[in-house]
Each structure stands twice: as structure tokens, then as C-alpha cells.
Amino acid sequence: MSLRDEAAELDALDPLAGKRAEFDLDPELSYLDGNSLGAPPRGVATRMAAVVSEQWGRRLIRSWDEGWWDAPERIGDRIAPLAGAGPGQVVVGDSTTVNLFKAVVAAARLNPGRPEILLDAGTFPTDGYIAESAARLTGHTVRRVPVAEMASAAGSRTALALVNHVDYVTGALHDLPGITAALHSAGALAVWDLCHSVGAVPVRLDAAGVDLAVGCTYKFLNGGPGSPAFLYVARKWLPSFDQPLTGWAGHADPFGMTPEYSGRTGISRGRTGTPDILSMLALDAALDVWGDVTIEQVRAKGLALGDFFLKCVDALVPGARVVTPRDHGRGNQISLAWPDAKTAMATLIERGVIGDFRPPEVLRFGLAALYVRYGDVLRAVEELRALR
């Protein structure tokens, strides 16, 4: 069977094939960049038109009491199952960067007397920037450690470790339960960045005993550019969770206008300022695509897409260096080392295959299982062959 025939057969048998129709995507486009910006679900535009014309346009300020004010917690509870969290532990709002700051400082305060923060050495840059800034504020030092050495590096001085679940360059999937258990054995807390895993691979925060976590919603959750991020706090830490950005929306009586701060109970204490209602409700609408699928189905297809991608690479561009793990120890992403990756990706995009690159030489292809087709994978590799 040819690769083209195999791709056609896989697409015909794909149980998630019908989901692509729920996204506003050009049928001629092969979109493999959902690990940077997810495609828009069709229902978002309709929902946003109603939000603007009816809720904002007709109800005006009354809408705050008609679903706007509690949106951060309500939408957090919608995301929670995708992160393996029970209700009341996830709140939506602010950016990933802001939530990282809250989580790192709060974790340091929860585990006093330990002067060190461990940081994933291959982390996305903003995680490092925030860790360093939080450390200056709290009097900690930051030590960068490869994730493979994180378990052995933690010791009596370690307050917490900030780790990425999926490496943003290579796509390697890290051992969240194992690393969390090792950190706990050393008396340290585990703070996880889920930006490249939530909505792509199963995440089981509660089962693994994770302390705090953050994640974005504009990648595999398709919330739209700049859609608000989320913050997870384990239930056992909620009573003592002390985050540094004590804005009015996290106040126990936000409309009391008292000069002293008193935090709300539960996950609502993670809120800061006025919620970004338009982007938050766009995210709410985008989450509807998960109504009839499970993360396990998405993961199964993501791995199958990746396996087929690797098969195509081996057949059509032999010798290309794959930097993503070939086994299933990866997220829903394939990365290749490629000369002049920036120019190569620009050429692919001109030819209707959209991925992205990371300097100096990595091409990244996101395999968002809700809308990526096996035919898209084959097309991407065929276009790579044409670049040689």
C-alpha cells in the first residue's frame, strides 16, 4: 500500500474525522501549528456575536450578575477534567506568565525554610524569567536542572520545582507522576506547566498529587489568541494558598471596598483583577468541542498521527534528524532538525502547510487530533522532501 493510500484509509477509519467540520478551517489547508495557536471552533463566532449583541449590548452591566462574575470558576471546572482535577481546584484568568508567578510564589510560601527553587533546564523562557523574578522577591535561588536529573537533584534545601510536562522544542513527555513523587520524597512541592499537554495528552493532577499547575488555553484547547490561562491548586493547599497578586477580584468581599485585603475561600483566591469577559466566554464556547470526545481518544489519535509522520519521514526524507522521541514518550508534536529552519518553514507555509520553527534549527509540527488529518501529515512530509 502506498503512503497516499494508507493516509486515505486512516482518514476514512478515523473515529474523530468528523470533528474537523466543527472548526473553521480551509479544507485545502494543512494546519499543523495547534501547539502554538489552536484553530477556531465554528461555534465561537456565533456565541461571541450573542455575547456582544445581547449580554453586553442589551443587558449591559446586569450581565455581571447573570454569568459573567462567576465565569472564571465555572470555566475552570470545565477544564478540570482535561487536567485530571476535581471541581473547585481550577480557576481561569490572567495569562500563563501571571499564573506562573502566582504559583511559584505561593509554593515558596507554602514550604518555608527551604531556599532553593529547581527549574527545568529546557523550560520555555517565560518560566525561567518568572522563576528568577519570584526568587528575587522571596529570597530564593534558582538552580536549573535537566528534567532527567530533577528527581535526584531535589534535597532538603528545595522548596519547589517548576517543570514542563511536555518540552516545547522536542515534544518529549516528562514523567509527571514519577517526578512529583520524587519531589515530595525530598520534601519539595511540584509546580507543573501544562501548556503543551492539556488538551493533547491525559493529565492526572489529583492522582499524581501535584501541588500547583498552570496552563494556557489557546493551544490544544482552541480558546483563541491570548485566551486566559488557568491555575490549579490542590485541594489540600487551598486553605493556606497565599498568592502574591492580591487584587480586588480575589477579595472575600470584592464590592465592600475595604482598605484591607481578605482573600476569598477556595480557588477563587487565585483571582486578581476584573475578568477578561470577551476572551473568557470565547474560551467557554471553544470548550464545547469536547462534549462528545475524551482525552484518551485524542491521545490515541495524536500518537497514531505521530507514528504515521515518522513513517513518512523515514520513507520520504531518510536521514532527517528527528528530535522528538520516537517511542510514545512524547506529546502530540513532532520536531525535526532542519537546516535554515526559519526559511524552510516559510516555504512550507507558502505551500499550504502551516507549522512553526524554534531557533536555531527545529521545525515543529503540532498534531491536534480534533482537526489534523493523516493526509495533512503526508502532505507536510512530501513538501519537506521537495525542499531537499
Active site residues: 124, 193, 218-219, 364
What's the rounded Cα separation, in Å, for the pair 73 and 23? 26
Q: Chain-centre distance of CA 19, in angstroms?
A: 20
β-pairing, 230-233 vs 353-354, is unpaired
Sheet bearing 230-233, strands edge to edge = 90-92, 230-233, 212-215, 189-193, 158-164, 116-120, 141-145
With a CB cutoff of 8 Å and minimum separation 6, the contacts of 235 are 86, 88, 89, 206
Residue 9: phi, psi to the nearest 5? Answer: -65, -40
DSSP notation for 180-220: HHHHHHTT-EEEEE-TTTTTTS---HHHHT--EEEE-SSST
CA angle centred on 84, ends 239 and 201, rounded to 5°: 140
CA distance 87 to 248: 23
How many other C-beta atoms are found inside a 10 Å radius of the C-beta of residue 136?
Answer: 11
Q: What distance in Å separates the CA atoms of residue 85 and residue 206, rounded to the nearest whole number? A: 5
Going from the C-alpha of 159 to that of each of 151, 317, 385, the distances in angstroms are 13, 46, 48
